[in-house]
Chain A
Amino acid sequence: KQEVTQIPAALSVPEGENLVLNCSFTDSAIYNLQWFRQDPGKGLTSLLLIQSSQREQTSGRLNASLDKSSGRSTLYIAASQPGDSATYLCAVRPTGSQGNLIFGKGTKLSVKP
């Protein structure tokens, strides 16, 4: 059974720092991996999607990497800003599933001004 773990559960950094959020999954048979952002009481915003054949994706200050064989992904946020404060969720889509996503519990990020 696929399980997704995110470490740390919470992170507080000063503004301007570069930071890395970690995601690990137990079964490397995945179709893709997606990073989301969730603001308090709100839905999910998709940040980056990495197909299983890709190693990384970049969008602005965000860079996500994928090492499928070791079951790991990282989300790198450069020059963090207070507006980056949110919960970041990692989700994998197992191969053979009907579009299901298996989510981690998330990392709650707080960027202090």
Chain B
Amino acid sequence: ETGVTQTPRHLVMGMTNKKSLKCEQHLGHNAMYWYKQSAKKPLELMFVYNFKEQTENNSVPSRFSPECPNSSHLFLHLHTLQPEDSALYLCASSQGDFQKFFGPGTRLTVL
């Protein structure tokens, strides 16, 4: 297990539900990221936060809404998702441009 934790580890939700994914890093890093890993596709960057400010939104649909209240915590709020949004959602952190450390991920299934 790394210094990046994610909860829940597994989530099943209907298309009309609202849920949130949580990420916490215990490494004192100043940057946090959300990545999506779908079956048979490379990991895709979703959002980047530096010092709590969003610096990159990789054309992610508005049904995904990130929140970064402080440098240690990152949330991904989900609403009205589609079945094709089912994937492994990975959180990562880094100190500036240095090595990224990933969490264990949340396996999301949208019914």
A59 contacts B by Cβ under 8 Å: no
A93 contacts B by Cβ under 8 Å: yes
B residues apposed to A, CB below 8 Å: 2, 4, 6, 31, 33, 40-45, 48, 50, 55-56, 58, 88, 90, 92, 94, 96-105, 107
* Residue of chain B at shortest CB distance from A102: B42
By the criterion of a CB under 8 Å from any partner CB, how many residues of chain A are at the interface? 24
Stretch with Cβ within 8 A of B (4 or more), from A14-22, A40-48, A64-72, A74-82: A40-48
CB distance from A70 to the nearest CB of B (A): 21
What does the 1/0 interface line of A84-111 toward B look like (CB < 8 Å)? 0000010101000011111111100000
By secondary structure, the B interface counts as: strand
| A100 and B48 form a contact (CB under 8 A) | yes
* Residue of chain A at shortest CB distance from B43: A103
**Option from B43, B44, B45, B107 in Cβ contact (under 8 Å) with A89:** B43
**Option from A41, A45, A105 in Cβ contact (under 8 Å) with B102:** A45
- Taking each of B42, B44, B55, which has the highest tally of chain A beta carbons within 10 Å of its own beta carbon? B42
